[in-house]
């Protein structure tokens, strides 16, 4: 063979990155079984089919071996690290000895692929693939030569859609391999399958997902399946490529099974080798007789068979039954055999509620698993995570309400009328600050209106000002379990970042501390304003809200009364009078409060030109005990004494004005009764043909009724208007004091509270809608919903150290504020099913819209508009390394107080539940004694004050599920700690409620977590610390203590956020 020595020498001296492989090997020539000389160490460089042998890395090449017409003999013993190159020409064999077994295997693969024959086989395989693609595209290419009219008639290429149930995944299948061939005879394979999709329209290979790694077997059965969500563009013509890899050099801390992240390559430093691949059409799988394909795995050149792969179509309505003798587990090999027997079972109800549910949930992502049960059957688990449009819809609705409420308040302050210079300057300052805050709300709403794209806020955006009202990573985490001999079950957990004002920061703590500090300072503000307690200011807001709500109703009912009188309709007149009386009584009752009287006195003294005779304290809720409660504060008493009492002010004037409304209503009622009585007498006399009936008949004309009622109705409206004017001004004056005593801190705290509440409310609305849709066919739950209310349990995983303590304070106040939220279910009148929010800061009503068919399933009480109460509770247990610092060097009082307070709320809910609900309302396995025991156990664990007592979380979650509650799990960003908790909870449910095989508990956890490398890069939690905490409660399960942390689909998808 001719060659250019200079060119070869130049090639051997090129930089290291130019070679396919290089390294140290011991080399000698061998004739037969005898070595001619002792092996000598050489630096070897492989480029194409040329192997350069050099004394050291920097020396010249002493020999070049051309790797053609040769083959490799690899020794199979575990200790042997040598290979031999044999040549067809008959020259002496080349003996190569590596430093280790992995290095030897690596050189064997590289040398085996270096000759031109292997390259030609690869080229032929690629040519075949190109020809297949060309055949598929031939019809498209032919269109280029057709007249335009014919091209238009052909239209767009049509693909065959996959028939499926609405809102169910388009395609799901499971995978298993058999008889895989390893590179070396004694090697136990650690395999995973990479799934790629070839779209028929684009002919582009897209990497879609991967299975978990199954170790130590050549017949791996993968517990992680493949699922395509409803929106995924997959058709019968779509091709799916399955590529099998063998993972070799795994890190020591990697556990038996790990899930590779979707759309990502395995670690570069983890040795893996290609075993084989195969491709199939989706239509072939769907149309196959047994809905199963057995495919041959081949090498990249298409010439060598390396095993088979089974693809089984999965439907959640069918079961995989494995008999006892067909399921085997091996701690070493992790092998499983599977025998299928399809049986139809009852699915989860609620498929008619898809339109309204789809309006709330978006972009679902699914994972499919199959696990064995303790009785050696197979259950299927579909794990689904979905975003919600409510992440932005609810905050925008809420901000819009805040803007309207603040605009009304500002107008009410302006309508106070003329004030003395001191009070007028105070009002101008307050209005100026309120206008600035109002402008900020309007700018935020405008920015949110411009938002497009994803319907959730990622954790990296938690510090953005324009998104501070939006919850962090709000998702639905759903587990759908289909198991033998049991009905399908759904387990939902709402995952969300802790509701907190991240943009404003936590330098001075959170809302819990800030509100307490602000209230203490407000009591000592000096003589500039009058102090009203938070209860009184809340009462003032309630009075103003009742005025704005009742006044237009009373006016409209009064007009209806006059209209009935003009039509001379007795029945209509009675009904109109009844409605008018009810609303007016509510109106009068709203002002039966000492606060209104004392506020009127304070407002009177604030008018200009007021003649002051003697000092006196306006009765600012003194009769309600507030003065007695705070009489220990000298500054407060002195400040109230500085508000004078005008000797000419008639305190009974308000009582007369207020009573005039009731008197006017009594006059209207008396007149209506007199008119109806005379109408009855007239009818009787007409029946007796009395001569005087004509005179009575004239008396009862429609005009006569209207004329007699009209002056009385006008008087009622005038009296009501005078009451409204005075009450509005007095209550606005109370609010002026509240704002003036704490500017600008008061408005900043209101803003912070609005931000936290907005995040918490978005999650609550999502959880309520999901729970309502899931329980539509559960009459016991619906009865509980309108009789007792809905329990909403939040599981907090925040530490009490540094900034997270402030987050926990924000979160505690935000969740507590959810008690002022009530829900109302209405029938949807259009295709827009998004909820509608009404109310004010102290009281909100969320109107949830349902389609007519679903609305008819509700109890009559709910259909009639009964308001549904919420009972939110929060239990927090810090679990990360920061909590360790808090327990050793800091303070955990905040966490202990929160848990104790919410335990009392939970006990209150349970008490109401036992009093109002029948004993048989819960499923048979959820007995009252069981709940009592759980509550007592929870009480004991909270009182014990143990460090990182995760038993509190498990007990609270179990009680919530048994009481048909809604579950939330929160940490700082709803990623790492939240994922850990949700995954372990899911596997525990499978074990406790669905008989998950005890030997597969660890593997089930592993299948639901991320791979170790992704966990280290994406999560801040210390693995060993979380492992110790989360697995402590499972000490009775063998092997659990040695497992690493587990992460669900939630962690898989949120890692990119």
Please tell me whether residue 1024 adopts helix, strand or coil conformation: helix
- How many angstroms separate the CA atoms of 535 and 541, rounded? 10
- How many angstroms separate the CA atoms of 685 and 692, rounded? 8
Q: How far apart are the first and last CA of the chain?
A: 59
Helix/strand/coil (H/E/C) assignment for every residue in 383-395: EEEEEECHHHHHH
- How many angstroms separate the CA atoms of 848 and 935, rounded? 32
- How many angstroms separate the CA atoms of 41 and 610, rounded? 110
Look-up of token digits 């000592």: 524
**Catalytic hit among 971, 987, 1007, 1011:** 971
For residue 160, what are the CA distances in angstroms to 136, 418, 857, 945?
15, 76, 37, 62
971 an active-site residue? yes
User: Is the separation of the CB atoms in 698 and 603 below 8 Å?
Assistant: no
- How many angstroms separate the CA atoms of 167 and 775, rounded? 18
Q: Which two tokens stand for residue 540?
A: 């003032």
Stated as kind and residue range, the H or E segment containing 636 is helix 634-641
Look-up of token digits 């503000």: 525
Stated as kind and residue range, the H or E segment containing 875 is strand 868-876
User: Is the separation of the CB atoms in 368 and 170 below 8 Å?
Assistant: no
User: Is the separation of the CB atoms in 818 and 812 below 8 Å?
Assistant: no
How is residue 318 annotated by DSSP? B
Q: What is the DSSP string of 917-977?
A: S-GGGS-TTS-HHHHHHHHHHHHHHHHHT-TT-THHHHHHHHHHHHTT-EEEEEESSSSHH
User: Is the separation of the CB atoms in 998 and 1037 below 8 Å?
Assistant: yes
User: Is the separation of the CB atoms in 295 and 284 below 8 Å?
Assistant: no
- How many angstroms separate the CA atoms of 604 and 618, rounded? 10
Give the residue from 200, 275, 282, 201 showing the smallest Cα distance to 240: 282
- How many angstroms separate the CA atoms of 786 and 70, rounded? 82
Judged on CB neighbours under 10 Å (0-12, 13-18, 19+), 602 is: buried
User: Is the separation of the CB atoms in 620 and 529 below 8 Å?
Assistant: no
Whole-angstrom Cα Rg for the chain: 39
- How many angstroms separate the CA atoms of 807 and 895, rounded? 12
Please tell me whether residue 878 adopts helix, strand or coil conformation: coil
User: Is the separation of the CB atoms in 721 and 662 below 8 Å?
Assistant: no
Give the residue from 728, 402, 734, 736 showing the smallest Cα distance to 537: 734
- How many angstroms separate the CA atoms of 736 and 425, rounded? 11
For residue 157, what are the CA distances in angstroms to 143, 189, 331, 1056?
11, 43, 52, 35
User: Is the separation of the CB atoms in 153 and 330 below 8 Å?
Assistant: no
Q: Which two tokens stand for residue 929?
A: 């004694």
Look-up of token digits 């924000």: 810
Give the residue from 494, 145, 174 showing the smallest Cα distance to 322: 174
Q: Which two tokens stand for residue 73?
A: 């003999």
- Residues acting as catalytic residues: 971
């Amino acid at each position: 063979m001719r060659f250019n020595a200079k060119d070869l020498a130049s090639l051997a001296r090129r930089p290291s990155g130019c070679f396919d492989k290089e390294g140290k090997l011991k080399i000698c020539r061998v004739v037969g079984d005898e070595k001619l000389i002792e092996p000598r160490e050489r630096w070897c460089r492989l480029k194409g089919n040329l192997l350069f042998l050099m004394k050291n890395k920097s020396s010249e090449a002493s020999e070049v071996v051309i790797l053609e017409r040769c083959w490799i003999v690899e020794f199979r013993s575990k200790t042997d690290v040598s290979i031999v190159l044999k040549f067809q020409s008959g020259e002496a064999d080349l003996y190569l000895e590596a430093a280790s077994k992995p290095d030897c295997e690596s050189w064997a693969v590289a040398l085996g692929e270096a000759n031109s024959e292997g390259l030609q086989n690869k080229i032929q395989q690629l040519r075949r693939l190109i020809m297949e693609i060309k055949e598929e595209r031939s019809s498209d290419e032919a269109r280029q030569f057709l007249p335009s009219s014919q091209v238009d008639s052909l239209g767009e290429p049509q693909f065959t859609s996959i028939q499926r149930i609405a809102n169910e995944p388009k395609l799901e299948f499971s995978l298993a391999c058999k008889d895989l061939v390893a590179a070396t005879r004694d090697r136990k394979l650690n395999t995973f399958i990479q799934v790629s999709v070839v779209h028929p329209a684009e002919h582009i290979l897209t990497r879609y997902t991967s299975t978990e790694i199954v170790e130590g077997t050549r017949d791996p059965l993968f517990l992680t399946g493949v699922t395509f969500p409803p929106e995924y563009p997959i058709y019968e013509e779509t091709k799916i490529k399955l590529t099998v890899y063998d993972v070799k050099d795994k890190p020591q801390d990697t556990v038996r099974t790990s899930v590779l992240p979707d759309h990502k390559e395995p670690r570069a430093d983890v040795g893996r080798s290609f075993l084989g691949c195969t491709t199939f059409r989706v239509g072939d799988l769907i149309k196959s007789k047994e809905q199963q394909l057995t495919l041959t795995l081949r090498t990249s050149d298409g010439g060598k068979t390396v095993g088979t792969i089974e693809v089984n179509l999965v439907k959640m309505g069918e079961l995989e039954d494995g008999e006892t003798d067909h399921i085997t587990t091996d701690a070493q090999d992790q092998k499983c055999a599977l025998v299928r027997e399809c049986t139809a079972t009852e699915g989860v109800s609620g498929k008619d509620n898809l339109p309204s549910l789809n309006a709330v949930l978006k972009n679902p992502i699914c994972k499919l698993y199959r696990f064995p049960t303790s009785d050696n059957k197979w259950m299927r688990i579909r794990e689904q995570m979905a975003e919600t449009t409510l992440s932005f819809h609810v905050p925008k609705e809420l901000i819009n309400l805040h803007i309207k409420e603040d605009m009304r308040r500002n107008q009410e302050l302006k309508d106070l009328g003329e004030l003395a210079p001191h009070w007028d300057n105070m009002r101008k300052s307050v209005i100026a600050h309120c206008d600035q805050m109002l402008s900020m709300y309007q700018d935020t709403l405008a920015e949110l209106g411009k938002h497009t794209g994803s319907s959730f806020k990622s954790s990296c955006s938690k510090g953005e000002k324009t998104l501070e009202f939006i919850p962090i990573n709000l998702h639905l985490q759903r587990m759908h379990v289909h198991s033998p001999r049991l009905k399908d079950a759904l387990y939902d957990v709402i995952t969300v970042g802790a509701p907190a004002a991240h943009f404003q920061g936590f330098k001075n703590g959170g809302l819990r501390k800030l509100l307490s500090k602000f209230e203490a300072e407000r009591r000592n503000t000096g003589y500039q304003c009058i102090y009203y307690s938070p209860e009184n200011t809340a009462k003032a807001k309630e009075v103003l809200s009742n005025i704005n709500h009742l006044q237009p109703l009373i006016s409209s009912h009064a007009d209806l009364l006059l209209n009935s009188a003009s039509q001379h309709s007795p029945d209509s007149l009675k009904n109109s009078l009844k409605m008018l009386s009810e609303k007016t009584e509510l109106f009068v009752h709203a002002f039966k409060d000492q606060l209104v009287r004392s506020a009127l006195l304070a407002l009177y003294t604030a008018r200009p030109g007021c003649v002051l005779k003697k000092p006196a304290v306006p009765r600012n809720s003194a009769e309600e005990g507030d003065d007695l409660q705070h009489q220990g504060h000298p500054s407060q008493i002195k400040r109230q004494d500085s508000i004078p009492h005008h000797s000419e002010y008639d305190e009974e004037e308000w009582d007369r004005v207020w009573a005039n409304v009731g008197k006017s209503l009594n006059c209207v009622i008396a007149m209506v009764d007199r008119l109806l009585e005379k109408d009855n007498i007239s009818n009787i006399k007409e029946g007796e043909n009395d001569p005087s009936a004509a005179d009575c008949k004239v008396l009862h004309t429609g005009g006569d009724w209207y004329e007699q009622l009209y002056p009385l109705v006008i008087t009622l409206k005038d009296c009501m208007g005078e009451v409204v004017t005075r009450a509005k001004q007095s209550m606005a004056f109370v609010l002026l004091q509240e704002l003036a005593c704490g500017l600008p801190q008061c408005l900043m705290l209101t803003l912070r509270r609005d931000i936290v509440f907005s995040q918490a409310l978005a999650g609550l609305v999502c959880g309520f809608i999901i729970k309502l849709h899931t329980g539509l066919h559960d009459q016991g739950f619906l009865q509980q919903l309108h009789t007792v209310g809905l329990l909403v349990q939040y599981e907090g995983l925040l530490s009490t150290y540094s900034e997270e303590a402030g987050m926990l304070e924000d979160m505690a106040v935000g969740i507590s504020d959810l008690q002022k939220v009530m829900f109302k279910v209405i029938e949807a009148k259009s295709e827009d099913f998004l909820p509608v929010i009404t109310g004010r800061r102290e009281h909100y009503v969320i109107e949830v819209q349902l389609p007519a068919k679903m609305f008819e399933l509700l109890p009559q009480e709910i259909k009639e508009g009964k308001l549904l109460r919420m009972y939110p509770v929060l239990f927090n247990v810090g679990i990360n390394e920061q909590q360790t610092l808090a327990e050793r060097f800091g303070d955990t009082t905040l966490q202990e107080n929160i848990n104790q307070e919410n335990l009392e709320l939970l006990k209150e809910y349970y008490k109401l539940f036992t009093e109002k609900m029948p004993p048989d309302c819960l499923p048979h396995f959820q007995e009252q004694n069981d709940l009592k025991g759980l509550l007592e156990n929870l009480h004991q664990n909270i009182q014990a004050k143990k460090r990182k007592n995760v038993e509190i979380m498990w007990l609270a979650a179990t009680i919530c599920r048994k009481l048909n509650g809604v579950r939330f799990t929160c940490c700082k960003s709803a990623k790492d700690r939240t994922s850990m908790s949700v995954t372990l909870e899911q596997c525990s449910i499978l074990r406790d409620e669905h008989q998950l095989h005890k030997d597969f508990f660890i593997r089930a956890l592993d299948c639901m977590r991320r791979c170790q490398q992704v966990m280290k890069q994406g999560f801040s939690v210390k693995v060993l610390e979380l492992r110790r905490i989360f697995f402590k409660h499972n000490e009775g399960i063998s092997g659990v203590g040695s497992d690493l942390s587990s992460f669900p689909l939630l962690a898989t998808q949120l890692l990119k956020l």
